């Protein structure tokens, strides 16, 4: 069934929803990473960041495997407000951690409508862009699940 959108309707116009898509740019230097975001019609904008607890796991999950069960992963996610640096532009920059890895992303919360709040996030930037093991690409390589 096709539903015609009416100008005075309280729901968002499909074209307006399309135009409010996040425009994101991610950059990485030798010492820091930056996420620059252009977002329209925002209610709140947050950043979330966390660091790994050691140099052996690039793992930001809340739980991790421990034999046949799981255990809490001591990674703590921290939420901070982000303010506009100019109209509709939000920037979060973070430095590399002293050890392990640091990951962060931006979340945009849209104003509530009849369906409730709508949230979008950028992809996560993990720094430094390294792994705890060498990349394996030979025929004899076999993966394991962490």
Is 145 within a domain? Answer: no
Rounded Cα distance between 47 and 90, Å, is 10
The H-or-E segment that residue 44 falls in is strand 44-51
Q: What is the pLDDT of residues 102-111, one digit of tens each?
A: 999 999 998 8
Residue pointed to by tokens 């109209």: 87
Is 142 within a domain? Answer: no
Note down the domain range covering 97. 20-127
Sheet holding 89-95, edge to edge: 23-28, 32-38, 89-95, 84-86
The CB density around residue 25, as the number of other CB atoms within 10 Å, is 11
For the CA atoms of the chain, what is the radius of gyration? 20
Is 96 within a domain? Answer: yes
Is 11 within a domain? Answer: no
Q: What is the pLDDT of residues 6-53, one digit of tens each?
A: 454 445 555 555 455 568 899 999 999 999 999 988 899 999 999 998
Q: How high is the mean pLDDT of the chain?
A: 83
User: Number of helices (H) and strands (E), helices first, in the chain?
Assistant: 1, 11
Q: Are the C-beta atoms of residues 39 and 90 closer than 8 Å to each other?
A: yes
Output the pTM of the full model: 0.77
Rounded Cα distance between 90 and 24, Å, is 10
Is 105 within a domain? Answer: yes
Is 68 within a domain? Answer: yes
Q: How confident is residue 66, by pLDDT bands cut at 50, 70 and 90?
A: confident
**Domains contained in the chain, number:** 1
- Token pair for residue 95? 């430095």
In this structure, what CATH number is given to the domain that contains residue 44? 2.60.40
Is 35 within a domain? Answer: yes
């Amino acid at each position: 069934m096709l539903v015609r959108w009416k100008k005075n309707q309280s729901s968002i116009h499909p074209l307006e929803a399309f135009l409010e898509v996040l425009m994101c740019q991610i950059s990485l230097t030798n010492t820091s990473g930056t996420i620059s975001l252009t977002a329209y019609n925002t209610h709140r904008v947050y950043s979330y960041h966390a660091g790994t607890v050691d140099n052996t796991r690039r793992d930001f999950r809340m739980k991790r495997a421990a034999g046949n069960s799981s255990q809490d992963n001591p990674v703590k996610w921290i939420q901070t407000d982000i303010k506009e640096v100019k109209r509709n532009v939000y920037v979060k920059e973070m430095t590399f951690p002293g050890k392990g890895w640091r990951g962060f992303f931006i979340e945009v919360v849209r104003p509530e409508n009849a369906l409730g709040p709508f949230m979008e996030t950028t992809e996560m930037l993990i720094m430094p862009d390294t792994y705890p093991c060498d990349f394996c690409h030979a025929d004899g390589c076999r993966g394991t699940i962490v």
